[in-house]
A and B are shown apart, each in its own frame.
Chain A
Amino acid sequence: MVKTGELKKIVSKWKDKEGNLIMVFHEIQNRYGYVPRDVSMKLSEMLDVPLARIYEVLTFYNYFDLKPPGKHTISICMGTACYLKGANELLKKFRDLLNVSEGETTQDGLFKLNVVRCLGCCGLAPVVTIDEDVYGKVQKEDIPDILAKYAVKEKNA
C-alpha cells in the first residue's frame, strides 16, 4: 500500500520545479515498481495537476508501468545488432516457454517479458537482461537454464 508520507517526501522535493511530472513518476516507479492508480489520484491533488495530464503523460512513455511488474523483469534487447544476431528467435523462445507476449507478466507473477531498445552492449549481441543480470551472446538453447536459475531461487526462498 502506498504511504502518504513517502509520497509527500517525493512531491515536496519536486513540487517547486517546473516540468517535474516525469521526474516524479520516475521516483514513484523506482519505489513501487509501477505507478498505481491511487498514487496518480493523490499526485493529481498534491501537485495540482489534472489526472488527465498525468495519464496522458504516463501512457505516452513506455518506461512507466500502470500494472505491478513481475518479480523478475526479462528484457530482450532489440537493437539492430541484437536483431541481426537473432534476438527475434530469443523472443519467440521466451514467449513459448513463459506463455506470455511481450509486455506481459506470467501467471505466477514471476517474470515480466519486455522488449527493449538498444541496451548499448552491441558487442555482446544478442543480449538479454534479467533484472540486473546481463546475459550476452545468448543462444536460444541457453534460455531454459537461464530461466531455471530464477525459478530455483524462488523455490528456495
Chain B
Amino acid sequence: MHKSLKKIDEIRHCRKQDSLKETIIVGMNSCGIAAGAREVYNILEEEIKKGGLDIVLKKSGCLGACYAEPLVEVLAEGMPGIVYCNIDKSNASKIISRHFRSGEILQNNVYSFSEGLSPKKNRRKFIFIKDTDCSSSDKEDEYTELFLQEIIKTESSSMVHAAKTEVISLYNKGIAVKIWPDNIVYAGIKKTDIPRILKKTVEGTQIDSLIHKAGTEKYPQIVMRNCGRVNPEDIEDYIGRGGYTALEKVAGGMTGEEIIKELKVSGIRGRGGGGYPTWQKWQFARDAQGKTKYIICNADEGDPGAYMDRSVLEGDPHSILEGMILAGAATGATKGFVYIRAEYPLAIKRVYRAIEQAEKYGILGKKIFGTHLNFDVEVRLGAGAFVCGEETALIASIEGERGTPRPRPPYPSVKGLWNNPTVINNVETLANIPEIIARGGKWFSSFGTKNSKGTKVFALTGKVRNSGLVEVPMGITLKEIVFNLGGGLGSGKKIKAVQTGGPSGGVIPVKHLDTPVDYDSLHKLGSIMGSGGMIVMDEDDCMVDVSKFYLRFCVDESCGKCVPCRIGGFQLLDILSRITHGKGNDDDIEKIKRISHTLIKASLCGLGQTAPNPVISTLNYFKEEYIEHINKKKCRSGVCHELLDYSIDQNPCRKCDLCARTCPVGAISGNRDEGYKIDPVKCIKCGECFEVCKFGAVIKK
C-alpha cells in the first residue's frame, strides 16, 4: 500500500475514535459569521477551557438554516444531538452550563435534533414538539407548555423532558411530536392526547392509533453531506468522514472510462443552469485530441439570491477538489482551475487552504496515491462580472481578458482554455461526483425523477418564513419545499408566485405549486432550474417590478458585445421602467414581446438568450398586472411608488399638522380645525407624509 493511502487509513481510524467524543460544532460560513458565530465560538472556547472540559469544539460550514443563524450543533453523552439556532453571546454559555452540566435543553433554541452520540445511555427521554400546519398560527409554544405542565404534574421530570423544535420533517400534519430515543412519531395530536403520550413514553410503550408512519424520513443530503459537519479547514476531518474514498477507488484501478460510465449511470446533469449531462462533457473532453486538458470549477456564483455554491466552498471545499481530481482522472486533464467570485473571501481562503493541505497529503500534485495520476489546482478570481459564469466568458476571464462570451461551437470540451479541451463544471455538480463514484451511479440515480436524477440544493428566500439552503431530491413539489421546508410565508400574506432560476428563470404562479421540481417540468412552465435560487413572493410583490428587477440585473451584467442583449436589454428595461412609473403605452406589451423574441433568438450567449424569461413568464401569468399598470396606472401591490395615490383618512387623523409641515412640495393643505387634504396634482408621491403620520391616517393605494 502506498504510504499516502496508509496515512489516510490511519486518519480514518483516529477520527472514528474522535467521533465518539462530546462535541460542539459552530457553523461558521460567512452568513454564520455575519450573524455573530465567531463571538459564540470564542465564548464556548473560553467556557470549555475554564471548566477544563473534555469537549471537542469545531468550526464547520453552513448548516442550511440561514434565517436562524448562528447555529451550533451539540453532541453530549446521553442526550440527543441538538442543533441550536439563534445562539448569541447572551445564551452561548448556557450550552455548557445547561446542556452539558444539567442535561437540559435550551427550550427556545432547538432547530433540529438527531440520534446523538450514544442514545442507549440516555439520561432521560425527550419529546420534541412541532406545529406542522403553517396556515394556522403556531401552537407549538402552547403544546410545549402543556407537555411541561403535565411532566411537572406527573413528577416525571427525571424520566422525560419536552421541547419545541423548528424541524421535524413533517408537513401539514397538525401538531407532531417525536420521541427520542424511541424514534416514535405522533402526528395530529390533540391536547387531550398529552397525558397518555407522556404516560406511554415513560412506560416505554406506544399509542398505535396516533403513530405516524410515512414521510418522516429525511431528505438525502448528498451535496451538503459534509456541510456543517466537517471542519472545512481540516482535511483530516473530511477524510475522517469518508472523503477521498472515490479517489482511492481510482488508485485501486478504476479507469477513466469506468468513472464516466458511473456518471452516465447516475444520470447527473449540470447544476449550473444548462442541465447538460455531465458524463457527456467529460466524454467529449476525454475523446478530444490534445496533450493539455483542463478542468475548471465554475465558482462564479452570481445569481441574485443563490448561494449554495458559496456554502459548499466554505463548508466542504475538499469535495470540490476531489470532484475535480476525478474529472482529471476521467478526461486526462492534469490541471484544474477554481474560478471563484472575488466577493467570497471566506470561500477563497478555505479553497486555498484545502489545496495547500491536499498537496501536503499527496492528494494533489504528481503521482497521486502512487498512481500515474497528476493533478494540480490553481485558484483564479472573478472580478464582479456575472457573465463570467457563462463558460466561454469564464475562459476569456481566466485567460486575462474581458469576460465576453465567444461563439460556440467549438465547445470548451473540445477547444476551451487556451484552445485546449476543457471541462467546466459548477460547484454543486462537482460536489456530487465523489459520492457518485464512491457509492455508485445506481445509488445516485435512485433519487429524483426519470430525467432529473439526484438532489438539488435550493436557496430558499424571499417571503418564506425559514429562508436558507435546502437540499431536496429532484421531483418533490414546489409546495413541499415552500411549506414543508420553508415553513410557509412569514409575512402572513397570501403567496403569489415562486421564482426559480434567478435572472434567467421565470415566475411560477401559485396555481402551479404542485409542479414537481425537475429540469423538464420547470422548463414547461417557462422557468428553469438554474443554479437553484428559489424566491417566494407574496401579494406585496409587484410582478412588473420583479421582472424589472431581474432585467436590470441582466442589463447591468451584459458584457455589451452583442446588439440584442446590449441594446435590446436596455430598451426592454426602459419600457418596463416607464410602465412602473406610470408612463406605459398601449403598444408596450407588443414591443416587449418583439424585443424579447429577438433577445432569445439572436443573443450570442445564455445571458441574453434567457434575460427576457422573467419578463415573458410574468407577462404570461400576470398579464393583468401589466395592463393595470399601463391602462389604469395602478400597482395592486403598492410597490410602484408613482402609481400610488395618497389621501388622508379623516377618522384616525388627529389634525396634528405634521404631514403638511413635512410635505416637500406643499401638496397638503388644511388647518387644525377642518383637517387636511392632499392635492393629487401637486403630490410627487414621495411617501414622506405616510412615513411621518403616527396615526395611520395617511392612506396609500
Contacts and interface: CB of A to CB of B under 8 A. Distances in A.
A and B touch in the complex (CB under 8 A): yes
Interface in A80-97: 80-81, 83-84
A19 B400 contact: yes
A134 B383 contact: no
B400 A84 contact: no
Interface string A54-90: 0011001111100000000000001111011000000
Contacts, number: 134
20 contacts: A17-B378, A18-B418, A20-B400, A21-B400, A22-B383, A23-B381, A25-B383, A26-B383, A61-B383, A62-B385, A78-B553, A80-B462, A80-B550, A81-B535, A116-B343, A120-B31, A121-B35, A123-B35, A125-B461, A134-B35
A68 B385 CA distance: 21
Contacts of A37: none
A13 interface: no
B287 to A, nearest CB: 25
A116 B345 CA distance: 14
Contacts of B615: none
A11 to B, nearest CB: 14
A61 B553 CA distance: 15
Contact of A123 (B386, B468, B499): B468
B660 interface: no
A22 B344 CA distance: 16
A51 interface: no
Contacts of B21: none
Given A19-B398, A120-B31, A121-B31, A80 B383 contact: no
A146 B163 CA distance: 37
B541 interface: yes
A117 B66 contact: no
B502 A80 contact: yes
A62 B549 contact: no
A113 interface: no
B304, B385, B559 pick with most chain A CB within 10 angstroms: B304
Contact of B35 (A19, A23, A79, A136): A136
A74 B223 CA distance: 33
Interface stretch (B1-9, B305-313, B670-678): B305-313
Contacts of A7: none
Contacts of A122: 66, 305, 307, 459, 461, 467-468
Nearest to B66: A123
Contacts of B65: 123
Contact of B383 (A62, A124, A127): A62
Given A61-B403, A64-B383, A117-B384, 13 more contacts: A17-B378, A18-B400, A20-B400, A26-B342, A62-B385, A79-B305, A80-B499, A119-B30, A122-B467, A124-B34, A125-B467, A134-B33, A134-B34
Contact of B304 (A80, A121, A136): A80
Interface string A10-52: 0000000111111101100000000000000000000000000
A80 B30 contact: no
Contacts of B385: 60-62
Contact of A118 (B302, B378, B401): B302
Given A80-B549, A81-B535, A134-B34, A119 B343 contact: yes
Contacts of A19: 380, 398-401, 418
Contacts of B383: 22, 25-26, 61-64
B211 to A, nearest CB: 34
Contacts of B67: 123
B166 interface: no
B303, B305, B400 pick with most chain A CB within 10 angstroms: B400
B397 interface: yes
B88 interface: no
A117 B380 CA distance: 19
A18, A81, A124 pick with most chain B CB within 10 angstroms: A81
Contacts of B380: 19, 22-23
B533 interface: yes
B368 to A, nearest CB: 22
B57 to A, nearest CB: 23
A84 B304 contact: no
Contacts of A62: 383-385
Nearest to A53: B401
Contacts of B342: 26, 63
Nearest to B307: A120
A124 B66 contact: yes
A78 to B, nearest CB: 7
